[in-house]
A and B are shown apart, each in its own frame.
Chain A
Amino acid sequence: MRILLRNPNREVELEGPLSVREVLRRVGVAPEGVLVIRGDTLLTSDVRLEDADRVEVRPVISGGAA
Chain B
Amino acid sequence: MRCSRCRDAAVLELRRYRAAYCGTCLVAHCERQVERAIAEHGMLARGERIGVAVSGGKDSLALWDLLARGGWETVGIHLQLGIGDYSRHSAALTRTFAAERDLELVEVDLTEEVGAAVPALVEGGQRSPCGACGLSKRYLLNKVAREEGLTVLATGHNLDDEAAVLLGNVLTWSTGDLGRQAPVLPHTSGFARRVKPLVRLSERETAAYCVVRAIDYVVEECPMAAGNRHLAHKAALDALEARSPGTKATFYQGYLRQAFPVFHPIAKRDLVLATCEDCGSPTTGTRCAFCRMTERTRRRASEPTPSVTPRARRPSRLRSSPAAEAR
Asked if A62 and B207 make an inter-chain contact with CB atoms under 8 angstroms apart, the answer reads yes
Flag whether B59 is at the interface (Cβ < 8 A).
yes
With a cutoff of 8 Å between Cβ atoms, the chain B residues found around residue A52 in the complex are none
With a cutoff of 8 Å between Cβ atoms, the chain B residues found around residue A47 in the complex are 1
A40 to B212, CA, bound (A): 8
Flag whether B12 is at the interface (Cβ < 8 A).
yes
Asked if A66 and B91 make an inter-chain contact with CB atoms under 8 angstroms apart, the answer reads yes
Q: Which of B56, B80, B214, B220 has the most CB of A within 10 A?
A: B220
A35 to B203, CA, bound (A): 11
With a cutoff of 8 Å between Cβ atoms, the chain A residues found around residue B208 in the complex are 35, 42, 60
A28 to B80, CA, bound (A): 35
Which residues B169-220 have CB closer than 8 A to chain A? 202-204, 207-208, 211-212, 214, 217-220
**Nearest-Cβ distance from residue A38 to partner chain B, whole angstroms:** 11
Which residues A20-43 have CB closer than 8 A to chain B? 30, 32-33, 35, 37, 40-43
A16 to B56, CA, bound (A): 36
Assuming the A-B contacts A42-B208, A46-B1, are A62 and B220 also in contact, with contact meaning beta carbons closer than 8 angstroms in the complex? yes
A46 to B231, CA, bound (A): 29
For residue B80, which residue of chain A has the nearest CB?
A66
A25 to B257, CA, bound (A): 38
Asked if B203 and A60 make an inter-chain contact with CB atoms under 8 angstroms apart, the answer reads yes
Contact pick for A63, options B15, B118, B218, B238, CB 8 Å = B218
Main secondary structure on A side of the interface with B: loop
Asked if B224 and A63 make an inter-chain contact with CB atoms under 8 angstroms apart, the answer reads no
Q: Which of A7, A44, A45 has the most CB of B within 10 A?
A: A44
Asked if A41 and B57 make an inter-chain contact with CB atoms under 8 angstroms apart, the answer reads no
With a cutoff of 8 Å between Cβ atoms, the chain A residues found around residue B251 in the complex are none
Chain B 19-54 interface mask (CB, 8 Å, partner A; 1/0): 010010000000000000000000000000000000
**Nearest-Cβ distance from residue B10 to partner chain A, whole angstroms:** 5
Asked if A7 and B204 make an inter-chain contact with CB atoms under 8 angstroms apart, the answer reads no
Which residues B245-297 have CB closer than 8 A to chain A? none
Flag whether A65 is at the interface (Cβ < 8 A).
yes
Asked if A44 and B11 make an inter-chain contact with CB atoms under 8 angstroms apart, the answer reads yes
Flag whether B13 is at the interface (Cβ < 8 A).
yes
Interface residues of A (CB under 8 A from B): 6-7, 30, 32-33, 35, 37, 40-47, 58-66
Interface residues of B (CB under 8 A from A): 1, 10-13, 15, 20, 23, 55-59, 78-81, 83, 86-87, 90-91, 94, 118, 129-130, 133, 137, 160, 202-204, 207-208, 211-212, 214, 217-222, 224-225, 228, 231, 234, 238, 241-242
